[in-house]
Amino acid sequence: MATAVKKYEIKVTADSPLRVGGPRDPIRGVDLPMASIAGKPVIPGPSLKGALRANLEQYLVALGKSKPSLKPCIPASKPSRAEEGLSQSGSYRVGGGCSAETGDGAVDGATATICPACYLLGAQGLVGFVSLPTLVGSMSQEELVGIAIDRSQGTVRGGANWRYEFAKTGSTFVGPMEVLLEDPARGWVLGEPRLGFGRQDAWLTEDLGWTQSRVLQELLIDRIESITVLGGFKSKGFGRVKITVKPLG
């Protein structure tokens, strides 16, 4: 029996100037270039995944108030002091990021269960069900010169000009997302506990009504489409987006 994969098209439309930074290119002399491939601006897969993870975590925090097994983890082996505060507040799981290692802790323990976010997107030592693409723009990036103001003098600060790139309002970025529905070789089915992982997918062993279609729609598609901000320069009014997801084939 073959592995079953479902493909979707993700389309991001910029409702304001949009900038996702890339490495500095000394040849072009741009101080703050936009991420690009073959001259076309892109939204890298990790940037999209980070935005999805943040959006999904917020959603799971709300659900976890009544169902602790749905709480998200903080995906770090050594959480910061601020992140530890989130766990202590009861919003996130305690114990750091989810891991493929088995454990006998409580449902709220990070080593005992895999949270829904890590189930979909992957945890330490464990791949997820979703592969997010790098989204490629159909236009060229724009360029502007930024300046810094000397507040005491009310003039432009000497030597404080810098060039940066961005995608203009109305720009679109498109790419294919793949979702693993079933892997017979490993006995994995999206929306079901994975064989051999015991309590690690505890939120799916409880009678909470999570079906494959609900996981796809509520935890993945709806969360992607509810992302409204991407990239940097948010304080300059950049990054407002509209995202649509549609099946391919």
Domain total of the chain: 1
- Which of 213, 171, 174 is CA-nearest to residue 191? 213
Question: Would you give per-residue pLDDT tens digits along the chain (249 residues)?
Answer: 689 999 999 999 999 999 998 766 655 556 678 888 888 899 999 999 999 999 999 999 999 888 988 999 988 767 677 767 767 777 888 777 887 765 444 444 444 678 999 999 998 878 999 999 999 998 887 765 555 554 555 554 555 566 778 899 999 999 999 999 999 998 899 999 986 665 678 889 888 899 999 999 999 999 999 999 999 989 889 999 999 999 997
- Which of 2, 42, 9 is CA-nearest to residue 249? 9
The number of residues in the chain equals: 249
- Residue 79 lies in domain: 4-247
d(CA 16, CA 214): 32
d(CA 59, CA 61): 6
pTM for this entry: 0.85
